[in-house]
Structure 1
Amino acid sequence: MGNHCLYCQSTIKEIITWKGLFRSDPQYLCGECQKGLQPIEGQRCSYCSRSLEKLPDELKKDEVCLDCYRWEEEPSWKGILQKNTSLLEYNDFLKEYLARYKYRGDYILAKAFGTQLANHLKPLQFDHIIPIPLSNERQYERGFNQSAALLEEAGISLTHLLTRSHSEKQSKKSRQERLQQKQIFTLTEVNLTGQSILLFDDIYTTGTTLRQAAKLLKEAGAKQVTSLTLARG
Structure 2
Amino acid sequence: MALFHQNCCLICHDVIMPSISWQAIFSIDKEHHICPVCEGSLEQILGDQCRICSRPFSQVNDQFRNGDVCHDCFRWEEDPKWQGSLEKNHSFFLYNDFLKEVIAMFKFRGDYALAKIFSELFKRKIGELSPDLLVPIPLSDERQYERGFNQATALITGAGFSPTSMLSRLHSEKQSKKSRSERIHLPQVFQVLPDVHATGKKVVLIDDIYTTGSTLRHAAKLLKEAGAVSIQSLTLARS
- TM bracket, shorter-chain basis: over 0.9
Tell me the percent identity.
Answer: 51
Distance apart, 1:180 and its partner CA = 3.7
> CA contact under 8 A between 2:142 and 2:172: conserved in structure 1?
no
Instruction: Trace 1:99-178 onto structure 2 (pairs within 5 A).
Output: 99-174=104-179, 176-178=181-183
Q: For residues 162 and 24 of structure 1, do their structure 2 counterparts lie closer, same or farther at Cα, with a shift above 3 Å needed?
A: farther
Letter in 2 for 1:11: V
> CA contact under 8 A between 2:169 and 2:190: conserved in structure 1?
yes
Instruction: Give, in whole Å, the separation in 2 of the partners of 1:48 and 1:11.
Output: 36
- Does 79-88 or 173-182 show the bigger shift? 173-182
Structure 1 counterpart of 2:221: 215
The number of equivalent residue pairs is 233
Superposed CA RMSD in Å reads 1.8
Instruction: Give, in whole Å, the separation in 2 of the partners of 1:35 and 1:175.
Output: 30
Structure 1 counterpart of 2:96: 91
Instruction: Give, in whole Å, the separation in 2 of the partners of 1:52 and 1:97.
Output: 25
Instruction: Give, in whole Å, the separation in 2 of the partners of 1:205 and 1:180.
Output: 14
Q: Does 1:3 align with 2:7?
A: yes
Distance apart, 1:175 and its partner CA = 5.1
Q: Does 1:75 align with 2:76?
A: no
1:68-92 deviation per Cα after TM superposition (whole angstroms, max 9, x unaligned): 1111111100001011010111111
Q: For residues 11 and 184 of structure 1, do their structure 2 counterparts lie closer, same or farther at Cα, with a shift above 3 Å needed?
A: same
- Does 201-210 or 180-189 show the bigger shift? 180-189
- Does 16-25 or 144-153 show the bigger shift? 16-25
Structure 1 counterpart of 2:234: 228
Instruction: Trace 1:6-45 onto structure 2 (pairs within 5 A).
Output: 6-17=10-21, 24-45=29-50
> CA contact under 8 A between 1:171 and 1:206: conserved in structure 2?
no
- Which structure 2 segments of 5+ residues have no match? none
> CA contact under 8 A between 2:10 and 2:34: conserved in structure 1?
yes
Instruction: Give, in whole Å, the separation in 1 of the partners of 2:41 and 2:119.
Output: 17
SS in 2 for 1:26: coil
Distance apart, 1:137 and its partner CA = 0.6
Instruction: Give, in whole Å, the separation in 2 of the partners of 1:79 and 1:22.
Output: 48
Letter in 1 for 2:222: L
Distance apart, 1:183 and its partner CA = 1.5
Q: For residues 22 and 66 of structure 1, do their structure 2 counterparts lie closer, same or farther at Cα, with a shift above 3 Å needed?
A: farther
